[in-house]
Amino acid sequence: MARDISRMAVIVTGGARGIGQATVERFARRGARVAVGDRDIDLAKEVVAPFGSRAMAAPLDVTDPASWQRFLDEVGDLGPFDVLVNNAGIMPLGAILKEPDEVTRAIIDVNVHGVINGTKAVAPGMVERGRGHIVNVASAVGRLAVADGATYSASKFAAVGFSEATRAELAPYGIDVTVVLPTVVQTELSAGVPAAKGVKPVTADDVAAVIEDAVRSPKAELWVPRWSQGLMKSAQVLPRRVQDAMGRMTHADRVLAEADPAARAAYEERARRATGPRD
Nearest Cα residue to 128 out of 165, 88, 64, 79: 79
Cβ proximity of 122 and 84 under 8 Å: yes
Nearest Cα residue to 27 out of 125, 166, 135, 110: 135
Query: Which element (helix H / strand E) includes 20?
Result: helix 18-29
Cβ proximity of 120 and 87 under 8 Å: no
Q: Choose the catalytic residue: 51, 81, 152, 223.
A: 152
DSSP per-residue codes, 164-194: HHHHHHHGGGTEEEEEEEESSBSSGGGTTPP
Q: Which amino acid is at 171?
A: A
- Nearby residues of 37 by Cβ (< 8 Å), 6 or more positions away: 11, 12, 13, 14, 15, 44, 57, 58, 59, 60, 62, 71, 75, 88
Angle at 68 between CA 66 and CA 70, to 5 degrees: 75
Sign of the dihedral through C-alpha 154, 135, 121, 73: positive
- Does residue 152 carry a catalytic annotation? yes
Q: Which residues are catalytic?
A: 152
